[in-house]
Structure 1
Amino acid sequence: MSLILVTGGVRSGKSRFAEELAEKTSQSVLYVATGEAWDEEMTARIALHQARRPASWGCVEVGGRLTATIASAAGYEVVLIDCLSTWVSNRLMGVPEQELRSEAITREVLRDAQEWLETIKAARQKQTVIAVTSEVGLGGVALSRLGRWFADVLGDVNQMTARQADAVYAVLSGIPWRIKG
């Protein structure tokens, strides 16, 4: 099993690069979608990603736990997860305001991410997992409490994933740079 992390800013071209990487690696690809159509703008973004993907790729949508997608991945040579930042965002968006920055919820999200990493490493399948995420460490400090919590949790998830990854790419303005592996 090989784990590749693709990171970059919003609209940096990271998803497109990850899709190209997946397509070059194999025709047997499972796309794990984490986006939810909360509004018209997100519906349009999802449609754009769907239109770009080859029709031959499998697709599974993940709501809560990333490990729930592992069973769906059996039989695929490449699993493309797009993206960890949206997955973290979805996990935190439903938290009531009085529970923002809850240590219990933070631990739960980080535990889910760690379980997912351990599960894919233990699978010992000849499979490539490509995970896309947004880099939050290059911007300013968020103005809202939720935004700061999101940056803290995603930063931890990104670091955990990068440590486990065989290769890490940073995509800037559509240009991928291999920074690990």
Structure 2
Amino acid sequence: MPYVLVTGGVRSGKSGFAEQRAGLDRRVLYVATGQAWDEEMQQRINLHRDRRPADWGLLESGALLTETLSKHLEEGWDCVLIDCLSTWLSNILMSLPESDLRADTTRAQVLAEAERLAAMFSRPDLHAVLVTTETGLGGVALTKLGRAFADLLGEVNQLLARHAEEVHLVIAGRALQL
């Protein structure tokens, strides 16, 4: 079954919605892309962890999403839930020098990785829910990093939405199927 893509703003309720879509009674592999760079981020990670069922699997991928995930897809999971692609992209961009943020090679590598991810979940026997952030609802970022992030995430989101079976926009805890 092709995957479900869940998008929305920061703190919109998209992760909770995605967890419900993954199915609380399934064997779910939760793929966490966040990294605890500081205490506040650790608190966010803890909130997500504490909300999930204790029997869900956990895979912490960081920036190496498809490489890490491909090693775990054959473990009999009913569903894979990736939370969140915007954090995955942040991990990649934060590791680059400023001169590489808008490089054609950076864009090509990120979009190729997004294509690989979409292909991974084109299998009819694997259910997946992918969470991302919609950055196109706000103003233009004030920094080069912020603008590069918003532009590239917009492309990643559009690419993944084209391949998704369903796309949901979550705002104020309410989901709208697009």
User: TM-score, length-normalised on structure 2?
Assistant: 0.94
Query: What is the correspondence of 1:160-171 to structure 2 with a 5 Å cutoff?
Result: 160-171=159-170
Structure 1: where are the runs of 5+ without partners? none
Is the partner of 1:72 in helix, strand or coil? coil
Q: Percent identity?
A: 52
Aligned counterparts, 1:128-167, within 5 A? 128-167=127-166
Give the Cα separation in 2 of the matches to 1:109 and 1:153: 8
What is the CA-CA distance between 1:147 and the residue it aligns to? 0.4
Tell me the equivalent position of 2:11.
Answer: 11
Task: Verify: 1:85 aligned to 2:83, yes or no.
Answer: no
Q: What is the CA-CA distance between 1:99 and the residue it aligns to?
A: 2.6
Normalising to structure 1: TM-score of the pair? 0.93
Contact 1:22 1:80 in 2 (8 A): yes
Q: Match of 1:101, SS?
A: coil
Question: What amino acid does structure 2 have at the position aligned with 1:67?
Answer: T
Please report how far the alpha carbon of residue 67 of structure 1 lies from its aligned counterpart in structure 2 after TM superposition. Answer: 1.6
SS in 2 for 1:168: strand
Q: CA deviation at 1:125?
A: 4.5
CA RMSD, aligned part only?
A: 1.2
One-letter code of the match for 2:171? Answer: L
List structure 1 segments (4+ residues) > 2 angstroms apart after TM superposition.
63-66, 97-100
Cα distance in 2 between the residues matched to 1:104 and 1:85? 19
Amino acid at match of 1:65: L
In the alignment, which residue of structure 2 is the partner of 1:42?
41
**Maintained 8 Å contact 2:22/2:28:** yes
- In the alignment of these two chains, the number of paired residues is 176
Provide the residue aligned with 1:2 in structure 2: 2
Q: Displacement of 1:138 after TM fit? A: 0.9
